[in-house]
Amino acid sequence: MNKPPPYKSAPMQIPQPYRPSDGNGGPDYGPRDLMRDMENPDMLVPPVTDAGLLPNLKFAFSDTHMQLNKGGWSREITVRDLPIATTLAGVNMSLTPGGVRELHWHQQAEWSYMIWGRARITAVDQNGRNFIADIGPGDLWYFPKGLPHSIQALAEGCEFLLVFDDGNFSDLNTLSISDWFAHTPRNVLSANFGVPESAFANIPKDQVYIYQDQVPGPIDSQKVQSPYGTVPLNFKHRLLAQMPLKTPGGSVRIVDSSNFPISTTVAAALVEIEPGAMRELHWHPNADEWQYYLNGQGRMTVFSGGGKARTFDYRAGDVGYVPVAFGHYIQNTGNQTLWFLEMFRSDRFQDISLNQWMALTPRQLVDSNLHASPELMAALRKEKWPVVKYPGF
């Protein structure tokens, strides 16, 4: 058997598990998934500050099962794919023009972000009050658990992210109207609706889930007046229309029950990080963080205490996760703006900035604890709440 060539002769364009700064590691001559290694450079060659063991905090929608139907598709990430993610689960769904996510309801609350396109949503609450609205890019909706609803794509079709407040959720276990009809005796349906059994001759034999229909007409043409009126709290929120908090290096839009009152179990932030900038060192004291990357590429290091830290690389379509109170930061490692959603099973968004904490602590204490340099102490004096910043700001 031929001896592998020495490491120094390996092609430079092929990444190797070797860290030049300290000489640790060595070549990997394969077999290997080179494309995966190139997408995860900080897992192949971890920063020297990474240490100990942390569970996997990343999963890509591209690695999930795709459910294909006439009218659209869906895929999901739950604890079966990302076991650490116990608090929230996500579904990525797309509907063709006129495609319908059928009339259904869940045991969990549903929070959603429209990625592109437009859809019409409908819902009815426990008091017989209804809701019908059109949703566009950057809009949200929220349906409390148990409330029946539907989603139908308009003329351009749509794609959206659904988030549910239970990591064990699965969209394929939805409570659907077609599934219930199919598993109810015809004589019971007849008695319930006061029509002959023959009226149910053409009902679906199984759950429909997603189906193709015609593009609905203008929203005014579909209005249904309830004698009890409309729901008292709006199920829709225009997140992209919300004024962002601008910071050096990006922006953030925060949405929780304070500005979207119906959303009592999911809080979120839409974060923008410009090339070369970072989401500062911070943590969330009240809930685990479930992330969805919308555009660009980034790197996140998570610190859990006890000398443990681990770095992950993320791209559009990836999901990240950070357990409650674990310190972390996110850097834009690409040449495009990095956009991602961070979501929490909570009624309020809470964030603690490492910079702000240090700036609001007696300086002598910080200095003696960290042997802080004069430059660091001077930088802390101008800290407020940067959230997203350029290094060195």
Instruction: Give the list of residues 6+ apart from residue 2 with CB closer than 8 angstroms, or none.
Output: none
- The C-alpha atoms of residue 18 and residue 278 are separated, in whole angstroms, by 26
CB 156 within 8 A of CB 95: no
Q: Which of 143, 150, 114, 118 is nearest to 218 (CA)?
A: 118
CB atoms within 10 A of CB 103: 16
Tell me whether residue 39 is one of the annotated catalytic residues: no
Q: Which H/E stretch holds residue 44? A: helix 41-44
For CA atoms 169, 172, 177, 181, the dihedral sign is negative
**Residue 115: closest CA among 88, 140, 142, 151:** 140
Task: Label residue 159 exposed, middle or buried (CB < 10 Å: 0-12, 13-18, 19+).
Answer: middle
Under a CB-based contact definition with an 8 Å cutoff, are residues 152 and 119 in contact? yes
Strands (E) in 228-325, as ranges, are 236-238, 245-247, 250-255, 267-273, 278-283, 289-295, 297-305, 308-315, 318-322
Q: From CA 279, how far away is CA 250, in angstroms rounded?
A: 9
Dihedral over Cα of 52, 55, 60, 62: its sign? positive
Q: Which of 76, 274, 342, 383 is catalytic?
A: 342
> Cβ contacts of residue 361 below 8 Å, gap of 6+?
none
C-alpha angle with apex 202: 187 to 178, nearest 5 degrees? Answer: 75
Nearest to 239 by CA among 136, 335, 323, 334: 136
Look at residue 274 and give its three-state secondary structure.
coil
Structure-block tokens of residue 367: 């200095």
Contact 139, 238 (CB under 8 A): yes
Positions marked active-site: 342
